Amino acid sequence: MSESHTGDNLAEALRSSLQEWSLDERKLACITTDNGANIVAVVRKLGWQRLSCFGHNLHLAVTNALKTEKDRTARAMGLCRTLVTTFSQSWQKKRKLQKEQTELNLPQQCLVLDCPTRWGTTQKMIERVLEQTPAIKRVLDDRRSQHLIPTWQDVEVLESVNAALKKVADYTDALSSEKTVTASSVKPVLQLLSEDLLLPTKEDTELTRNLKMKMTGVLEDKYNAPATQRLLAKASFADPRYKDINPVDDVKDALLEEMLAVPEERRDDGDGAMRASTAGEGEGASAPAPAPKKINLADLLGKRKAKVFAGGSPRFAL
């Protein structure tokens, strides 16, 4: 929108979008936004149910966790960025790196720089530096460059950070789809993260444990409002994939009560409009080539299916 993003202008734009798409505001279940103060205020003013973006919240969880441990991670993280810059600005070092990668049987990959607004790039940068450390040491083994070689303390810090971030690396993309419903997956994923992936273990270093606990705390805080909890519980209950995850009778009763309260004239399924809009699609045209399969929530959650403790009781089951 070209106008200033004031509360009134945003409210008008949102209502105009509903009218443009012939959407009934009374059927609006919720709206997903980031945590910007202006959009949060607008949604509250409109009286709509708001669900904060999971990808945005996950980014905040990771960045806030790293900030709390900045004193312990600043040197190692800064060294990673310096290494990426050093190799990207020197074709000689790039060539030497490729040679050492071949001799050490390492993947032929360049170092990658992180982006402040994409936390996943930070994890990729750290993981790539750790992977290529043997080759990096050989390339920088001279008087002018030896100060750039990661020390064992740097490596230990990077390994600890990577151990925490790698656990959640796939979930930003999987829960940021534009073509599939993902609201029903938020509650199961939060449960998976807090009870499994981000649960501190005996093998974790102190730094890894601190990062995991901070990330879990931020995510839980973003979704702890009672109205949000009810919305997520209803969405998960209505999704057949999660029918066995913490089924609660009052969720079922609340959904039945809401459905029975819908007036007769509003009880249409909308299939007619969908059939009309899709009629004739694909006729006379060749089928497009299938897109490469991307990792999805079914893949991620399926890997945890029927996971059990050593004692045999289920920890997280679908």
Taking the C-alpha atoms of residue 245 and residue 191, their distance in angstroms, rounded to an integer, is 10
DSSP-derived 3-state class of residue 4: coil
Q: Which residues pair with 50 in a beta bridge?
A: 31
Q: Give 52's strand partners.
A: 33
Number of helices and strands (H, E) in the chain?
14, 4
What long-range pairs does 84-89 form, CB within 8 A, spacing at least 24?
Answer: 84/111, 84/112, 84/113, 84/125, 84/129, 85/113, 86/145, 86/148, 87/111, 88/113
DSSP conformation letters of 233-291: HHHHHHSGGGTTSS--HHHHHHHHHHHHHS-GGG----HHHHHHHHTTTTTTSPPPPPP
Q: In whole angstroms, give the CA distance from residue 36 to residue 89.
A: 37
Burial of 76 (0-12, 13-18, 19+ CB in 10 A): buried
Confidence (pLDDT) at 176: 67
In this structure, the number of other CB atoms found within 10 A of the CB of residue 176 comes to: 13
Which residue in 257, 273, 228 sits closest to 29, CA to CA?
Answer: 228
Give me the tens of pLDDT residue by residue for the chain, a chain 318 residues long: 677 778 788 888 999 999 999 998 888 888 988 888 889 999 998 999 999 988 889 999 999 999 999 999 999 999 999 999 999 999 999 999 999 999 999 999 999 999 988 888 999 999 999 999 999 999 999 888 999 999 999 999 999 999 999 988 877 766 766 677 788 888 888 988 998 889 999 999 999 999 999 999 999 999 999 989 888 988 888 888 776 666 666 887 887 887 788 777 666 655 544 454 444 444 555 556 665 555 556 566 665 554 533 444 444 444
